[in-house]
Structure 1
Amino acid sequence: MTVRRLVQHPDLGLTLVAGRENTDRTIVWAHAIELADPTPYLSGGELVMTTGMNVGTTDLEQHDYLARLSAAGVAALAFDTGTSFAEVPAGIIVAGDALGMPVIAVPARTPFIAITRAVIDEVTADQLRSVQRIVDQQEVMAREALKNGIPGVVSALSTSLSATVIVLATDASTLAAAGPDSSRVAHLCSQHLQHPPTRTTRDQASRVFADDVGYCTLQALRATPTLRGHLAVRRDAALSPLDRLLVAHAVSLISIEMDKPAKVLDAEHRLRAAVAQAVLAQDAIIDPGLLRYFGFDPENSAVVVALSNTGPALAAERHTQDVLGTLATPYLMASRADEINLVLPADNSTAVNDIHQALGTRLQRRLGGGVSLPGTFGNLGQGLRQAQAAMRSGPDEDRVRSFAELGVFSVILGNRTSAELELMARQLEPLDEHDRAENSPEIGLIATLEAYLHANGHIESAAAAIGIHRHTMRNRLARIREITNCSLESADSRAEMWLAIKARELLSMGAPNER
């Protein structure tokens, strides 16, 4: 409630007669008082209401009366014109203009209780709006805690308070930060925490200290007696009581997140792995609620990432969780022997190279990697085959390849169903049957054909690649022509065979539940 809004109230009939330049002052309460010096009973921001019984009769006395109100921080003076005075005295008006104190003329028909009710109703409504804002922000932080963990809560609190917010570990290292000048604030808080606690600060859950231009609040983070760290909130103005309530809610969310029991984390990890295996299965149907629990929008696209040479599964999973935790991105993860498969939102696929590099550094391994084309959650089994095909498309490791890099191969086979791939690969079945019937050596006719196609039809190079004599290579190629009734001298036939081999390769990768 401001002075201007009060004067504009349609039912009160108030008139502003002085101090027009300060009508934006906020009225925090309305107080009827008839003392010559009411200031001992005022705290600032009030609308003082008087009938004029003790304001004095001379201009000097009236100026002194208004000066005392101004010095006490009163928002405005409401002067009744139906009891002691028929109109606001000239001395009060002159003093109001001189001191910048808004003076309101109250008509005889308007009782002070009506003004008080108007002020209280507005103050109460404002408080309710403030409380609702806090409730709304609490809900936002709760959703962020579920979706993005501690970094999400920190970011939401920083936005709500227009403040710099930092989570510090017990060793004063920064775990999460949001807001301007976070590095300087983190350093300042770290220095403050390094001071030995005094008798008065040892058991305090909250501390406030000032820097050069603002205030910083430090809150202890603990859901159990064990201290897990501190939450620092720094901004130019001190926190209001409602702001402190929001900070307390953030402290609770972050403390719980930092103190999750190991069994809960293990159960969450198992659920994440089960959901990952389900979405990577061919034509899987997944409850959208599970996807939302792990931060995904079921309507948006996702990509599959395959990382090879990851080593023992438990260590690889733990380090992958740590890396993805620092990036604050939704993810699903499943592992198999020497391989990690991830599902990431398509709009976060740019983080793949960061994940690959950071995980390789942690595991001290040269990792291979592949990433699929974006797809829906109902078709990520195909995405897994794409990612694995990209991962295995080159001899060298230590970099991530995109399935899109495979050119024509990705365009022709990238969106094929299993049935379509099986149809393309079916023409290789006679060669399989021949190898089984003839008890052929380890390098059979399909391996011979693949080497020949890799060598662009150069017999000597193909023979050298698989370690056989060129005459043996010619005899095997002749046998392939006879069995498949396909002329390998034709570019069309070679292309058809090459696609069949690639389709067979994609099918052999399969989804986790197909292996």
Structure 2
Amino acid sequence: MPMTVRRLAATNSLGLSVVAGHGHVDLPISWAHAIELQDPSRWLAGGELVMTTGLHLSRSATKQYEYVERIARTGAVALAFDTGTVHEKVPNAIIRAGDELGFAVLSVAKETPFIAISRAVIDELTADQIRTVQAVVDAQEKLARALLDGVPALIAALGRAVHAAVCVLDRDGAVLALTESASSSLPERIRERSGKERSRVVVDDDGHLAIHKLAVSGTLAVASDAALDQSERLLVGHAVSLLTIELAKPLRVVDAEQRLRLAVATMVRQAGGEVDESLLRYFGFESGSPVVATALTDVGPLLAATDITSAALEEVAVPYLLAPLNDGTGVWFVVKSEVAEKVARSVYARVRENSRRSINGGIGSVRPMSGVAASLREAVSAAKVGQVDGHTLVPFSELGTFSLLLSVQSNDVLQSIAAGGLGVLEGYDAENGSRLVDSIEAFLHHNGQWESAATQLGVHRHTLRNRMDKAAELIGRDLDSAHTRSELWIALKARELLQAESNSDHARPPLR
């Protein structure tokens, strides 16, 4: 909080009182200056508290009025008039000038030396500077921490700190990050106003635009209604440095960071909560962070898939851990729970688009960092169901009972379930060109409604009845039994999972 005329006058030990310009006492004092010249204006720069004993002050009321007028015109904030050395009180002309000109005049008690007033002002100015510097340092630390969450997070933090719209463009002029408060026209305004200078400020009808070149990596621009103050300019300069370092990371540094990320992800999956806290913090996590694992399968060549997934995660700019699945069929990543589903869907869409593959995905449930392995198992199970649903992203929480039970089984178990219920029927279909398995599936899907099931198959209901009778004969079971129907339905679901996985490998596994 700056020292103002009001605050100075309220300092009891100084014996000051406001005698004129009462409505103009909230201006900040930049310095306290004792001067006895009849015309001190040439020595003033604005913002000063002028102190005088009135030693050379004219006795003419007109001259006294003009004396105050000259000081006020310089931008000085107040006149402190001593009442013990030359004058017993502040002259009436001085008071009248202060009131009429809107300029504060203070009466100084005779026992108050000017040095005490100067010391009070200087001490407060020093304290205010220290507070300002500390505030800048604190804000710089916040910017550095924000960068852990990516360039967009840094830009958002800078925008809040300087109360302005902020935008970062890459070297080609594409938007890397933009604060929510920025207008959609800001990027184009930056492109039009950028020059060859490293830094420039443009003032136009839209306000102030400070443009800073980021070495060879792009441009940072800050759009504000008014000019930034010194502290805000320091923060912008700090952000420029952070961005330059971040965007100019050598490839070997990026590669080393990704290798470390993979190692930490693997450790988290294997060791849970026993991972070094500093490693987690480096990637933006805490040991107690609630997180969610997402698995992407059938992604194609693993190295390329990992790079594509990493790039997609960098785009959404959230802390993440990333590693390949143990069986080599895909990749998995961990993000904080509050953004998990949004990030998973964004990354799934981007990986699917860039890999040009019909990938599968699953989202695990919320777990602490120590429970990542469990969340990953759920994600893999959900991804397996995603194959059946036509290559989609499936949250574990949305799995039905049958899907949930079957998705956690191995392929060998699924083979046994499917073959136990349908193996004989598939064999018969293969040898005779019949459609017993399809008929049972349609019959069960329509809850035993003959007409609806027959319509789906494109046959007469009597034909369907004959097929059901044949199927019952082959498996030796009563199809009217709820138990038999349940077993067949489970077998069909197991068959779906196997077929989906087989289709991903372009080869359908046998059921026997």
Pairwise TM-score range, normalised by the shorter structure = 0.7 to 0.9
Distance in 1, matches of 2:485 and 2:117, equals 93
**In 2, are the aligned partners of 1:161 and 1:243 still within 8 Å (CA)?**
yes
SS in structure 1 opposite 2:15?
Answer: coil
Distance in 1, matches of 2:279 and 2:388, equals 37
Question: Displacement of 1:451 after TM fit?
Answer: 4.3
Distance in 2, matches of 1:465 and 1:501, equals 9
Describe the superposition over 1:34-62 as per-residue Cα deviations: whole angstroms up to 9, x where unpaired: 11111111110100000112332122111
Question: Displacement of 1:492 after TM fit?
Answer: 6.6
Task: Return closer, same or farther for 1:391/1:142 CA change in 2, 3 Å cut-off.
Answer: same
Structure 1 residues 195-234: aligned runs within 5 Å: 197=196, 201=197, 205-222=198-215, 227-234=216-223
SS in structure 2 opposite 1:228?
Answer: coil
Question: Displacement of 1:377 after TM fit?
Answer: 1.8
Q: Which residue of 2 aligns with 1:346?
A: 337
Question: Displacement of 1:499 after TM fit?
Answer: 8.9
Instruction: Say if 2:34 is the partner of 1:32.
Output: yes
Distance in 1, matches of 2:257 and 2:72, equals 61
Residue 370 (structure 2) aligned to one of 358, 368, 378: 378
**In 2, are the aligned partners of 1:173 and 1:190 still within 8 Å (CA)?**
no
Residue 43 (structure 2) aligned to one of 25, 41, 44: 41
Distance in 2, matches of 1:475 and 1:454, equals 10
Q: Which runs of 5+ in 2 are unaligned?
A: 427-433, 442-466, 502-512
Task: Return closer, same or farther for 1:450/1:47 CA change in 2, 3 Å cut-off.
Answer: farther
**In 2, are the aligned partners of 1:445 and 1:476 still within 8 Å (CA)?**
no
Q: Which residue of 1 aligns with 2:396?
A: 403
Question: Displacement of 1:501 after TM fit?
Answer: 12
Distance in 2, matches of 1:268 and 1:255, equals 17
Distance in 2, matches of 1:283 and 1:328, equals 24
Task: Return closer, same or farther for 1:112/1:128 CA change in 2, 3 Å cut-off.
Answer: same
Residue 270 (structure 1) aligned to one of 234, 240, 259: 259
Task: Return closer, same or farther for 1:491/1:181 CA change in 2, 3 Å cut-off.
Answer: same
Task: Return closer, same or farther for 1:8/1:492 CA change in 2, 3 Å cut-off.
Answer: farther
**In 1, are the aligned partners of 2:322 and 2:331 still within 8 Å (CA)?**
yes
Distance in 1, matches of 2:475 and 2:377, equals 30
Q: Which residue of 2 aligns with 1:67?
A: 69
SS in structure 2 opposite 1:280?
Answer: helix
Q: TM-score, normalised by structure 2?
A: 0.80
Task: Return closer, same or farther for 1:381/1:58 CA change in 2, 3 Å cut-off.
Answer: same
Task: Return closer, same or farther for 1:284/1:213 CA change in 2, 3 Å cut-off.
Answer: closer
**In 1, are the aligned partners of 2:37 and 2:56 still within 8 Å (CA)?**
yes
Q: Which residue of 2 aligns with 1:149?
A: 150
Task: Return closer, same or farther for 1:502/1:108 CA change in 2, 3 Å cut-off.
Answer: farther
Identity across the alignment (%): 40
SS in structure 1 opposite 2:150?
Answer: helix
Residue 92 (structure 2) aligned to one of 90, 93, 112: 90
Tell me which amino acid in the other structure corresponds to 2:335: L
Instruction: Say if 2:352 is the partner of 1:360.
Output: yes
Residue 448 (structure 1) aligned to one of 387, 404, 419: 419
Question: Displacement of 1:184 after TM fit?
Answer: 2.2
Question: Displacement of 1:220 after TM fit?
Answer: 1.9
Distance in 1, matches of 2:291 and 2:180, equals 29
Task: Return closer, same or farther for 1:340/1:221 CA change in 2, 3 Å cut-off.
Answer: same
Q: Which runs of 5+ in 1 are unaligned?
A: 415-420, 433-442, 482-486, 510-515
SS in structure 1 opposite 2:292?
Answer: strand
Tell me which amino acid in the other structure corresponds to 1:83: T
Question: Displacement of 1:113 after TM fit?
Answer: 0.2
SS in structure 1 opposite 2:209?
Answer: strand
Task: Return closer, same or farther for 1:270/1:490 CA change in 2, 3 Å cut-off.
Answer: farther
Question: Displacement of 1:6 after TM fit?
Answer: 0.4
Distance in 1, matches of 2:155 and 2:274, equals 34
Once the two structures are overlaid, the 10-residue window that deviates more, 42-51 or 375-384, is 375-384
Structure 1 residues 54-203: aligned runs within 5 Å: 54-146=56-148, 148-193=149-194, 197=196, 201=197
Question: Displacement of 1:163 after TM fit?
Answer: 1.2
Q: Which residue of 2 aligns with 1:512?
A: none
Q: Which residue of 2 aligns with 1:437?
A: none
C-alpha RMSD of the superposition: 3.6
Q: Which residue of 1 aligns with 2:285?
A: 296
Question: Displacement of 1:66 after TM fit?
Answer: 0.8
Residue 250 (structure 2) aligned to one of 222, 237, 261: 261
Describe the superposition over 1:279-331 as per-residue Cα deviations: whole angstroms up to 9, x where unpaired: 23375632232222211232132111111222112222222222211211111
**In 2, are the aligned partners of 1:448 and 1:473 still within 8 Å (CA)?**
no
**In 1, are the aligned partners of 2:420 and 2:491 still within 8 Å (CA)?**
no
Distance in 2, matches of 1:448 and 1:411, equals 20
Q: Which residue of 2 aligns with 1:12?
A: 14
Tell me which amino acid in the other structure corresponds to 2:418: A
Q: Which residue of 2 aligns with 1:335?
A: 324
Q: Which residue of 1 aligns with 2:361?
A: 369
Describe the superposition over 1:227-277 as per-residue Cα deviations: whole angstroms up to 9, x where unpaired: 111211221222223322222211111111011111111111111112222
Task: Return closer, same or farther for 1:62/1:395 CA change in 2, 3 Å cut-off.
Answer: same
Task: Return closer, same or farther for 1:413/1:106 CA change in 2, 3 Å cut-off.
Answer: farther
SS in structure 2 opposite 1:36?
Answer: coil
SS in structure 1 opposite 2:352?
Answer: helix
Q: Which residue of 2 aligns with 1:322?
A: 311
Task: Return closer, same or farther for 1:72/1:284 CA change in 2, 3 Å cut-off.
Answer: closer
**In 2, are the aligned partners of 1:165 and 1:182 still within 8 Å (CA)?**
no
Task: Return closer, same or farther for 1:165/1:444 CA change in 2, 3 Å cut-off.
Answer: closer
**In 1, are the aligned partners of 2:24 and 2:104 still within 8 Å (CA)?**
yes
Q: TM-score, normalised by structure 1?
A: 0.80
Task: Return closer, same or farther for 1:285/1:476 CA change in 2, 3 Å cut-off.
Answer: farther
SS in structure 2 opposite 1:237?
Answer: coil
